[in-house]
């Protein structure tokens, strides 16, 4: 199967969170590529990546970044593909800097912004699956199973007093 999702992150240090995006895409059977491309440290590389992404078959970009977190916004400026942003935890503000950088995009250049940290990283993959499911029946089936399984896990939980 072709790679449909590109995961980007601003630093190798972001991988400890963005691995959860990659693992969730794996669980859903969605082929993807992973690249470290900093919007601030390597802007030309980001431009090249985004301008060729659609022609290379990618259909969704997921960008994890911390601090000033320009990566998803810059990507959204460079491609018409849906761009999902994962704000990463930072010591100074707990990730609020990244969250606001991604959510407060000017009208007309959206970044679909998820929660800070691991939950956002997982949900970016699940949301990418929802988008891709519209045009890929096998991903729609995988997503249905994924959701059914997580429901079953919750329903099967014992009384917490017995745990």
Nearest-Å Rg of the Cα atoms of the chain is 16
Q: 125 CB contacts (<8 Å, ≥6 apart)?
A: 5, 20, 21, 22, 24, 25, 28, 30, 62
Rounded-to-integer distance, Cα 139 and Cα 135, Å = 9
Rounded-to-integer distance, Cα 163 and Cα 126, Å = 29
Give the nearest distance from C-beta 71 to ligand RP5 in angstroms.
Answer: 6
Residue of 28, 67, 99, 142 interacting with ligand RP5 (CB under 6 A): 67
- The interface with ligand RP5 within residues 25-64 (CB under 6 A) comprises 38
Classified as helix, coil or strand, 38 is: coil
- The interface with ligand RP5 within residues 4-23 (CB under 6 A) comprises 10-11, 13-14
Residue of 6, 66, 72, 95 interacting with ligand RP5 (CB under 6 A): 66
| Site residue total, ligand RP5 (CB under 6 A) | 9
Q: Which is nearer to ligand RP5, 13 or 144 (CB)?
A: 13
* Contacts to ligand RP5 by CB under 6 A: 10-11, 13-14, 38, 65-67, 88
């Amino acid at each position: 199967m072709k790679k449909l999702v590109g995961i980007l992150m601003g630093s190798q240090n972001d991988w400890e969170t963005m691995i959860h995006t990659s693992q969730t895409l794996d669980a859903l059977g969605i082929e993807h590529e992973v690249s470290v491309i900093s919007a601030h440290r390597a802007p030309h590389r980001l431009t090249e990546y985004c301008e060729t992404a659609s022609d290379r078959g990618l259909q969704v970009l997921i960008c994890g970044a911390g601090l000033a977190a320009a990566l998803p916004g810059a990507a959204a400026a460079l491609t018409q593909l849906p761009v999902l942003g994962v704000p990463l935890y930072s010591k100074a503000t707990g990730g609020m800097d990244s969250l606001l950088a991604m959510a407060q995009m000017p009208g007309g250049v959206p970044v679909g912004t998820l929660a800070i940290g691991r939950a956002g990283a997982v949900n970016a993959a699940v949301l990418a699956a929802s988008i891709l499911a519209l045009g890929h029946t096998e991903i729609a089936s995988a997503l249905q199973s994924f959701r059914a399984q997580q429901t079953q896990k919750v329903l099967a939980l014992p009384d917490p007093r017995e745990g």
